[in-house]
Amino acid sequence: MKIHKEGKIIIPAAFISITLMYLGLTWLISLPLFSWGLGIVAVTFWSLVISFFRVPKLNSPTGDDLVIAPAEGKIVVIEQTHEGEYLNEERIQISIFMSPLNVHVNRAPVGGKISYYKYHPGKYLVAWHPKSSSQNERTSIGFETPSGTTLLMRQIAGAVARRIAFYKKVSDNVRAADEVGFIRFGSRVDVFLPLNAEIKVKIGDMTVGGETILAHLKD
């Protein structure tokens, strides 16, 4: 396991944790309950920061017809909707909610070319709010597979998230499960699939970014 490049907060987080432990072992040593409590808070805080910015090793499936989960989290939406920004047609929307406990690396759901990108400033509604997909701060990324199928992925900020990073640009080629971005502190990723895609997940399922198969594409 390695730590993501966005994890610059790790150094100040380590300082805060060490300070809390020092205070617990010195100023509060005569109050064991408070001393132990402060130590537990320090260790928990440090563990959460490390967990959030971790980049685990992947065992990604292969196949040109596969749509891979772009994020780790919980499936909260599977529904037919009209995607009017880029695709301009009816699509199946799959939404993955990422809690602060999940890995927040975002990955390409398919291999191919980045065909569209746009950043949208916006609100910070909770990520599971129905309007967060269209009203929150977000980025929209289009993918075109070698066979000509187009997909749209949205990185959506949540109530706490204040940084959406996307590392690619239009015309870049990517492989399925390649790292393409990152969102800090609780957020959501939407994927818009063709109506004839064979969906392999259901609401409530937990996904592993870069590993879980969301769907099979059909010609």
Catalytic residues: 187
| Sign of the CA dihedral with 128 first, then 132, 137, and 141 last | positive
What is d(CA 134, CA 17) in angstroms, rounded to the nearest whole number?
A: 38
Nearest residue to 210 (alpha-carbon basis) of 179, 167, 166, 177: 177
CA angle 93, 136, 215 (to 5 degrees): 20
Whole-angstrom CA distances from 158 to 8, 9, 130, 131 are 20, 19, 12, 11
Classify each residue of 142-167 as buried b or exposed e, where b means 16 or more C-beta atoms within 10 Å of its C-beta.
bbebeeebbbbbbbbbbbebeebbbe
Q: Which residues contact 9 (CB under 8 A, 6 or more apart)?
A: 49, 53
